[in-house]
Amino acid sequence: MSSVLNVARKEWGVISSNPLTDVRKPSKPAPRDRLPTKDEMDRIGFCAGADLKNATARAFHAFLFSCETAMRAGEVIGLTWDRIDLERRVAHLAHTKNGRPRDVPLSLEAVRLLEALPELDPVFGLSSRQLDILFRKSRDKAGVADLTYHDSRHYAITRLAKKLDVLDLARMVGHTNLRMLMTYYNESAENMARRLD
């Protein structure tokens, strides 16, 4: 609202001052730190089913793929076979949130997940709306609370931080600001303590 009023003042000359100049902006909420447990993943997978001809199963399969690659939901549903090189194990994303294309390295598990899919194009054969609705349906049916599809990105980045150095990780997930990784990195102090020994 303040930005609109600034344009009205500076560019259009409609108002002489921005009445929101002295209003304090609300603080940003704390970043989420929700990671799915193995039990929750198993329960959601059971409720989604294993038949990948079924859209509900593919929605959970997409979640697993995001857990493996740290790709956003929009990047996953937009993935087409002509942008995947299984031999080189790379997925090319032409359109990303920050507007820059990037190549995502694929683990052997990510390749296995892709190879298990029926032949559809786009790869997962889902719209953004379908992915959201079907994932939430399986999650709710499994009795899993407070888990979002985007939590797969937190899960992936936390896991990948153990395998990749910080620059490689930032490049893989498309962060140009390394501080953004701290938003997604949710390793517990207990797990870090084990690695110190």
Residues with catalytic roles:
72, 97, 175, 184
Cis? peptide before 105, omega within 30° of 0: no
Which of 51, 53, 59 has the alpha carbon at shortest distance from 126?
59
Place of tokens 């709710």: 140
For residue 147, CA distances in Å to 42, 120, 135, 143, 150 come to: 14, 27, 10, 10, 8
Contact 138, 47 (CB under 8 A): yes
